[in-house]
A and B are shown apart, each in its own frame.
Chain A
Amino acid sequence: MAEITFEGVTKVFAGNVTAVDHLDLHVADGEFMVLVGPSGCGKTTALRMLAGLEEISSGTLSIGGRVVNHVLPKDRDVAMVFQNYALYPHMSVAQNMGFALKIRGESKDEITRKVAEAASILRLSEYLDRRPKALSGGQRQRVAMGRAIVRSPRAFLMDEPLSNLDAQLRVEMRVEIARIQRLLGVATLYVTHDQIEAMTMGDRVAVMRGGKLQQVAPPQELYDRPANEFVAGFMGSPPMNLLRVRTAPAEGRLALAVGAQRLELPRAYEASHELPTDADCELVLGVRPEDIEVVDEAGSGPTLRTRVERREALGAEILVHLALVEAGAPSSVAYDEDVAITRPSVLVARMAPQARVGVGDVLNVRLNEERLHFFDALSGVSLARGTA
């Protein structure tokens, strides 16, 4: 067991591809750290550098306080679960799980005991004599886990271990992996591009983009206080609505121009956010789909007038795509579906399935005034105070 520290770790591949760019990340002992980001952002590369499978171009990487930049994989004492599991095809499940112990020179009895123990944790006891070929996808996945846990390594590295499983099995294994990790208390770096895995499994989540670390925070904090527009848009499904707006202060009150409509903001944002005080400054307003509700005409708080463009029923909830109704435009214009499809919907709202909304309806929606987000229009950085 040990902590893991990336300090300015950079990986430049031949041909000048910078896959990981000055990564600073600390995984505490026993912590479950999830690394998320879109495809090609350098997650696998970061993991492979930690495993010792990839040379580090610059920076320092340490495990348990010891710099491992030039330490061979076999001497790092970390275990890795591969996306394709990489089970040894000619070995039985038991031999697969015991391979590292055998290499280490442990006695036969010891190996048998440890393998049996891990197999019972993973519910694999009845498959120990089988070859990987004769196992289902979920069972193979568990063998790959088993191979990692029998070693009691200093760290677990997992690269999208669930991505080859079907949806149901994935939910099951998600819980299982998190449970086993807590049980063993081994520092874990878990790579995924599935944000549900990121939200549910990690103690903390690190979001990467284009080789650069965007934010590291506990899942809820990441969701509630995204450090920038990218994180805001990446976490959450459907993602946060991001609107380009302009400041339009009047009589000392904060207000925004959203298209042709005015949006009054509560005073509290002056203290909590660094909002521009001048008029006509561009910025990005973020609203989560669940923070939008339908209100009567005379509602108080920040409200927008919108028309329903699309309605997606997901069973437990519906997603309502809304377009701003331009002030002055007659709201009784017949609904034109072709136009609605080509025009991007401006807002997506999450509502209860009972909500009586139909395509073409004009609605007044109120944004949850306590949960608005603001980002710099150019850099995308959050304007909230206290998040650097």
Chain B
Amino acid sequence: MPRLTLRRRRQLAGAVFALPALVLVLGLIGLPIGQAVYYSFTQWDGLTSTWIGPSTWTQAFHNPNLWTALQNNAWLLLAVPFALGFPLLIAMLLHQRVVGWKVFRSIYFLPTAISWVVLGLVAERFFAYQGTLNSLLHVVGLAHVNTNMLGYESTALSALGITFVFTMIGTNTMLFLTGLATLDTSLEEAARIDGAGRWRIFRHITLPHLSRFIQLAFVMTVIALFSALFSLIFVMTGGGPGYATTTMEFLIYQTGFAQGDFGTAALYGLILFVLTAIVGIIQLRLIGSDE
């Protein structure tokens, strides 16, 4: 029997131990993916499926709605920096114990604890023509700036993005606060003595320390953006006006459940999966290159 190096043996043991989990993951993720690929080559109404070959694929890419949805997803990515930036700012303020930090600490997480359906309803009331935003504008004497963000194709997506940023604040703030709590305070003190001011300490000590947490928050936020907006869209806009707020995710729902074209829906699902996977892989690369 050939002698194995310690390293090899450890790798082998790792593989053996990981096997059950691997089987489970492949079963739970691989199987549905395989099914989705299969259905994308069929005509399926929910009961019976007939093999129609790659025609779904050729037609799907000529559907302008797919491109609109992809574009909407791309535009929504612009919300990600805000969904990370605001929580980072809030976490820094809470960490430095600004006045009122105790009160704020107890409320920032509330939105996270509330169902996104409810948040969507609240947001809808907020942005509506006779909603809270306009009332507020009225109160501060800006009655002439009547908004109706959800009513126009040009602004509905922005309203959705803003709502999304708001819903992500709790989770990301908590993540960053956890990161800050693990920062050794003597590092900050050492930097202060080394002559660094607030900004330099943040830039050279805090931010590098938080980089892992920020990467994690980034992945979670992008994935949420691609795959968890459904309830917000459903409640706030129903994908409209027109297709202005229809994302890939919502398009899948519409195609499958509203139009009964499950074959095409399965194909869209695959596209979304690939996009999400790409983000994940890029992220893993970034994390990997750090060590």
A contact set with B: CB distance below 8 Å: 51-53, 72-74, 76, 78-80, 82, 84, 86, 88-90, 99-100, 103-104, 147, 151
Contacts and interface: CB of A to CB of B under 8 A. Distances in A.
A88 B196 CA distance: 13
B196 A86 contact: no
A172 B197 CA distance: 35
A86 B204 CA distance: 14
A103 B194 contact: yes
Interface in B68-89: none
Given A88-B205, A90-B209, A104 B195 contact: yes
Contact of A74 (B184, B192, B208): B192
Contacts of B187: 86, 88-89
Given A86-B184, A90-B208, A90-B209, A103 B190 contact: no
Interface in B183-228: 184, 186-187, 189-197, 200, 204-205, 208-209, 211
A74 B204 contact: no
Interface of B: 184, 186-187, 189-197, 200, 204-205, 208-209, 211
Contacts of A52: 192-193
A74 B205 contact: no
Chain A interface secondary structure, helix, strand, loop or mixed?
A: loop
21 contacts: A53-B192, A53-B193, A73-B189, A74-B192, A74-B193, A74-B196, A78-B193, A79-B193, A84-B186, A86-B184, A88-B191, A88-B204, A88-B205, A90-B211, A99-B191, A99-B196, A99-B204, A100-B194, A103-B195, A103-B196, A151-B194
B253 to A, nearest CB: 44
Contact of A86 (B190, B200, B209): B190
Contacts of A86: 184, 186-187, 189-190
Contacts of B204: 88, 99
Contacts of A80: 189-190, 193
Nearest to B211: A90
Contacts of B186: 82, 84, 86
- In this complex, the member of B189, B190, B209, B211 whose beta carbon has the largest number of chain A beta carbons within 10 angstroms is B190
B209 A73 contact: no
- In this complex, the member of B187, B191, B195, B200 whose beta carbon has the largest number of chain A beta carbons within 10 angstroms is B195
A331 to B, nearest CB: 59
Contacts of B211: 90
Contacts of A74: 192-197
> 10 closest A-B pairs (Cβ-Cβ)?
A100-B194, A86-B190, A86-B186, A90-B208, A74-B195, A73-B192, A103-B195, A80-B193, A73-B193, A103-B196
Contacts of B200: 103
A90 B207 CA distance: 11
Contacts of B189: 51, 53, 73, 80, 82, 86
Contacts of B208: 90
A52 B239 CA distance: 58
A99 B192 contact: no
Nearest to B208: A90
Contacts of A151: 194
Nearest to B200: A103
Contact of B194 (A72, A89, A99): A99
Contacts of B205: 88
Contact of A100 (B184, B195, B197, B209): B195
B209 A147 contact: no
Contacts of A88: 187, 190-191, 204-205
A73 B196 CA distance: 9
A187 to B, nearest CB: 16
B194 to A, nearest CB: 4
